[in-house]
Amino acid sequence: MTSSTQPRPVPPAHAVAASHRLVVLVSGAGSNLAALLDAHRDPAYGARVVGVVSDRPGIAALDLARQAGVPTAVVALRDFPDRAAWDRALTEAVGVFSPDTVVCAGFMKLVGAAFLGRFGGRTVNTHPALLPSFPGAHGVRDALAYGVKVSGCSVIVVDDGVDAGPIIAQEAVPVADDDTEETLHERIKVVERRLLVDVVGRIARHGLDVDGRHARLG
Ligand code: GRF
């Protein structure tokens, strides 16, 4: 029994931060999810993946979540009369897990007004190009076709644009003359996984401040 005059015990920092709940949205292989699942096993990371939601069944990312004991949900566009209904269902499915932060990790759909109304400002996405260059579903292919000598990856705050939100972090990856889309993307993904895990952990432990186009980690 604690009276109002007694000081309330202050939980250790990692115990408080470990309550930072992550929901990860996926559409494919789940290499970024795998990196987050690996990181969240350490209590000092300060966040844990409490749910994984996909827009399609039967993908490797869902198997990774199940193997890690993380609940999953599938919200497939084809099961809904239109995109707005799908967006509302996705919002509800993610809301079930009460996330503090939503991470789009290889998620290949654009979220809509219902989703952003509930999770806007605390949804981040990772993109395999140096935004604002080469947004969209084929960033690696487009960068290679353009002939850039440096590409990379970007972690952004999701807004109602296509990979257009405030940039949180970026890292450059050199492009080799003999690169294919596959070789370049694999090299980018090595950097991308590390950057995403770092950014998400810092959001969990220190917060994220978004002021217009400027996003700053705490
Ligand atoms: C990643 O490079 C991601 O940025 C892009 O799709 C790739 C696959 O991601 N959208 P994952 O292996 O499914 O995490």
115 in any annotated domain = yes
6 in any annotated domain = no
79 in any annotated domain = yes
Contact in structure between 147 and 133 (CB atoms under 8 Å): no
4 in any annotated domain = no
Pairing relationship of beta strands 20-26 and 47-54 according to DSSP bridges: parallel
DSSP string, 48-79: EEEEEEESSSS-HHHHHHHHTT--EEE--GGG
Active site residues: 127
7 in any annotated domain = no
Give the strand order in the sheet containing 101-104: 72-74, 47-54, 20-26, 101-104, 123-127, 150-157, 167-174, 214-217, 208-211
Question: Which atom of ligand 1 lies at the shortest distance from residue 107's CA?
Answer: 10
Q: What is the pLDDT of residue 7?
A: 67
119 in any annotated domain = yes
85 in any annotated domain = yes
Neighbours of 103 (CB within 10 A): 28
**What helix, strand, coil percent values describe the chain, rounded to 5?**
40, 25, 40
Q: What is the pLDDT of residue 218?
A: 87
Query: In the chain, which stretches have pLDDT less than 70?
Result: 1-18
pLDDT tens for residues 141-157? 999 999 999 999 999 99
137 in any annotated domain = yes
Residue 178's CATH number: 3.40.50.170
135 CB within 6 A, ligand 1:
no
How many domains, in total, are found in the chain?
1
32 CB within 6 A, ligand 1:
yes
Structural domain that includes position 93: 15-217
pLDDT tens for residues 78-90? 999 999 999 999 9
